[in-house]
Amino acid sequence: MDRFRDTEAALILYFECDNPGRILPVEAFPELPPAVAGVLRTRNCRAPQPSAGGAPRNVIRGEFFAKGEAGWAVLCSVNNSTALLAFRNDRDTNPQTIITSDDQNYLQGLDGDNIGYSREITAAGRDFIMRHYRAYGGPEPPPIDHQGIDDAFLGKASITWYFHNAKWLRLQGAD
């Protein structure tokens, strides 16, 4: 692991040298509506990927603000920092930034000299939110009538973000 002692060097090696396709441009997500894709392009967003293969991830659709109102959540990486952005609907050009973190915080050793980016977002429904609250405790969820965003550090734990009373609540995810 000496090769990855310096975390900035590890990010450069991981995203640009070792796995150039694992931080994807907006064009890798053709399902994005034009307004959302335009915002992401303007911000120079790329979506970091948690594995070397498979379908693109970390751009998800769900009812994150209110029941019946489908929008988008995106991990937007720019300059080794990733923001979790939430778009209210297909026309939203002013997404909410839920949280921002350094990409290096989500790198972990996989085996030998290999490292991987280990963050993934998924839509979380009422059953998921309540099951994790009952299993692990944490803040009591408000009445759940739409989806949350589960923000996972794969193989470790997660936080579920839930929009309630005009703010994002940090609820218990997987532990």
pLDDT confidence of residue 108 = 85
Average pLDDT score, the chain: 89
What is the reported pLDDT for 6? 54
Q: What tens digit of pLDDT does each residue of 141-166 get?
A: 999 999 999 999 998 999 999 999 99
pTM: 0.88
Tally of domains within the chain: 1
pLDDT of residue 54: 81
pLDDT of residue 3: 45
- Tell me, what's the pLDDT at 10? 53
Tokens, residue 92: 């939203």
Spell 90-120 as b/e; 16+ CB within 10 A means b.
eebeebbebeeeebbebbeeeeeeebbbbbb
The CA-based diameter of the chain, rounded to the nearest angstrom, is 50
Among residues 14, 17, 40, 9, the alpha carbon closest in space to that of 27 is found at: 40
Q: What is the pLDDT of residue 124?
A: 98
- Residue 91: phi, psi to the nearest 5? -105, 0
Residue-range definition of the domain harbouring residue 22? 2-172
Residues of the chain with pLDDT under 70: 1-21, 52
